[in-house]
Amino acid sequence: MIISLPISLGVAIFLSEIAGKTLSTIVSFLVEILAAIPSIIYGFWGIFVLAPFMRETFQPMLNKYFGFLPIFQGTPYGFGMMTAGIILAIMITPIITSISREVLKVIPISQREAAYALGATKWETIKMAILNAKSGILGAIVLGLGRALGETMAVTMVIGNKAQMKISLFEPAYTMASVIANEFAEASSSMHISALIEIGFLLFVVSFIINSIARLLIYSITIKTGVK
């Protein structure tokens, strides 16, 4: 979300408030295409393009200049938590961008004209539009986060699939979804199957809690703004 959110909101604001109609149509079409790409394709791209780039260029650079931070220490494997995080950011950015753009476009043109009439600048008018659409933008963020939480194949292909917890982002790791995907076919004992089912249940609980908190946030915003 740290990577995806600024990019998503920036692109959405550019498409709805700044770009011309032709450019906005073309870029919006490309964004929707990115949102429709199957996760397995992102996984293959991560294996053959992103992981080698991370291992040979990006992670050594981070280790060289920011190696004093624990999150950038260790061996640059290429496969690991950082690579999986970047893949997820790329996957959810089109979703948040597309929904945020539609929310911003719904704001009546009369509100923008009123802001200009009161002497507001272009950026002040954009800020007003974002504030009016914050509940819809929050909903877009929640949908993107839900996609990231439930993603399986792309993450499984690039995270390294090692049952460990390290502070370094270079290290391989496991996610709940990737554990289930990797081990369910080989689970033979009832204990093993029960453990994987419990992981699935915990993943459901985490998703339910996050979506419930987000729903409460949206509800509180609508109460404060008087929107019904």
Write out the two tokens for 89.
Answer: 């950011």
> Where do we find the tokens 């699935």?
200
pTM above 0.85, yes or no: no
Find all residues with CB under 8 Å of 116, minimum gap 6, and list them: 125
The CATH superfamily label for domain 4-174 reads MetI-like (1.10.3720.10)
Q: What is the pLDDT of residue 176?
A: 87
Q: What is the band of 217 on the pLDDT scale with cuts at 50, 70, 90?
A: low
89-107 per-position pLDDT tens digit: 999 999 889 888 888 887 7
113-154 per-position pLDDT tens digit: 788 888 878 788 888 877 777 777 887 888 888 888 878 888
d(CA 193, CA 116): 62
On the question of pLDDT at 189 being above 80, the answer is yes
Domain map (residue ranges) of the chain = 4-174
Q: Where are the alpha helices (DSSP H) in 46-189?
A: 51-53, 59-66, 81-106, 109-117, 122-132, 134-150, 153-158, 176-183
Residue 141 near residue 211, CB atoms below 8 Å: no
On the question of pLDDT at 190 being above 60, the answer is yes
Q: What is the pLDDT of residue 135?
A: 76
Q: What is the pLDDT of residue 151?
A: 84
The torsion angles phi and psi of 189, rounded to 5 degrees, stand at -85, 155
Q: What is the pLDDT of residue 22?
A: 87
> Where do we find the tokens 């692109």?
11
Q: What is the band of 41 on the pLDDT scale with cuts at 50, 70, 90?
A: very high
